[in-house]
Amino acid sequence: MLGLKLPTDPRWVNIVEKNIEEILTDHAYCEQKAASMAISLIIGFPEKSELVKEMIALSREEMGHFNMVHEKILERGWILGRERKDEYVIELMKFFPKGGSRETHLVHKLLYAALIEARSCERFRLLSEEINDKELADFYGKLMASEANHYTMFLKFARKYGERTVVDEKWQQLLEYEAELMKGLGKKETMHG
Ligand SMILES: [Fe+2]
Ligand SMILES: [Fe+2]
């Protein structure tokens, strides 16, 4: 599914289920970070008009998701806590070497975004299918549907602004690296943990 090379261990849901407040807190920040990633692409690459247009729409959509998760937190009588560190994203973003041309930097950013979207979508699907809390299962089912085209959009832009064969090769390498990373994850009650 989604090109990912290693599925998440379904037992991750059992860990998540024991601490709904924690997963919702972490998830809320994932949505906010997705919105700020879209905005950072606008700031960094204002001349890419098609990208700018899509990133405006995406930042709005992701802030809409943030709002939905925030409402869920309030409905359950909690208050949004502090941001959790996302070790997965930190490790993932070590893959491509720093430096290179501006275009290369753009392609790398787009590929990271594509992968984070794909893995998040996979985690949403798992939650929608496996979590016992019916209300949250429905919630994640709906979110998964609206996230599903984000990863393909980022991949499409990477192929548009980079050289196709180079981009495809980098994407495969990143997928393999991510699968290795994933072997040590699936053990924490965070969206990518
Ligand atoms: Fe989202
Ligand atoms: Fe997304």
CA 117 to centroid of ligand 2, rounded, Å = 5
SS3 (DSSP) at 145: helix
Helix then strand then coil, in percent of the chain rounded to 5, is 75, 0, 25
- What are the tens digits of pLDDT across the range 67-99? 999 999 999 999 999 998 899 999 999 999 998
One-letter amino acid at 182 equals: M
Which residues, in sequence order, are CB contacts of 87 under 8 Å at separation 6+? 192, 193
Overall CATH class of domain 13-182: mainly alpha
Closest ligand to the CA of 64:
1
Q: Residue 61 C-alpha to ligand 1 middle, in angstroms?
A: 7
Alpha-carbon span 117 to 81, nearest angstrom: 23
- In tens, the pLDDT along 11-64 reads 999 999 999 999 999 999 999 999 999 999 999 999 999 999 999 999 999 999
Residue spans of the domains in the chain: they are 13-182
Distances (CA, A) of 166 to 129, 144, 153, 171, 180: 36, 29, 18, 9, 22
Question: CA-CA distance, 190 to 188, in Å (whole number)?
Answer: 6
pTM to 2 decimal places: 0.96
